[in-house]
Structure 1
């Protein structure tokens, strides 16, 4: 009988990525979270990757340590209902989690939140949008030239 490697459940992966997101937002290491939970940092790594499923009582404790409601870990979770999606666009919440899980995304988010003037915030958004548009326009022009 061949040995097959079981792939993690998409919900477990999502919950783990939300644990990682919140932990990094708080500037907490895997070691510190592990200490607070009475587990090793390796176990925290496995939870964050989704390779080990987080039990209900452990998830409740993680929510207390990370100061968020349990529901935080399920926000934008992939659908498991098996319903027919039809022509509906995907929610796309994963790109936000992916972005905020990067060092740059986390730094940008922390700095942006510290801007108190709404006008300055709008200008920053406009700047980033224009930079992204310039970059996509130049890439489009390069493709057309080829």
Structure 2
């Protein structure tokens, strides 16, 4: 029996693909699967892994959260994140890839002078 969340995610993948003007074949090429596999995702015959959903979201230029029902939040890596942190992450996910990369470089550059800067 198909889980309702898997059905919802599959339907949302199809809706976003159609909205982007892509065929199953075109999207499947972008995410590295055969079109039959994408068809199985869209019909919830197969579950979509988190990494594959991420690839689909990037190919369709939509945030991963657009595939989830309202009220389902993506986990944040820091348990003590503030609500504003989550809003910022959602905004960043909406950026075009080139702008996102520029923003990441900028944030890394200005955070190097703080004690809590990430170490690459």
TM-score (norm 1): 0.47
- Measured in 1, the distance between the counterparts of 2:13 and 2:52 equals 12
1:29 aligns with 2:23: yes
Residue aligning to 1:16: 10
Structure 1 residues 47-86: aligned runs within 5 Å: 47-76=41-70
Cα deviation code 1:49-93 (max 9, x no counterpart): 111000011011100001000000003489xxxxxxxxxxxxxxx
> Are the aligned partners of 1:11 and 1:77 in contact in 2 as well (CA < 8 Å)?
no
Counting matched residue pairs gives 72
Determine the C-alpha separation between the residues in 2 that align with 1:12 and 1:44.
13
Structure 1 CA distance, aligned partners of 2:66 and 2:48? 14
* 1:41 lines up with 2:35 in the alignment: yes
Give unpaired runs (5+ residues) of structure 2.
Answer: 73-120
Q: Provide TM-score, normalisation by structure 2.
A: 0.57
Which 4+ residue blocks in structure 1 deviate beyond 6 angstroms?
Answer: none
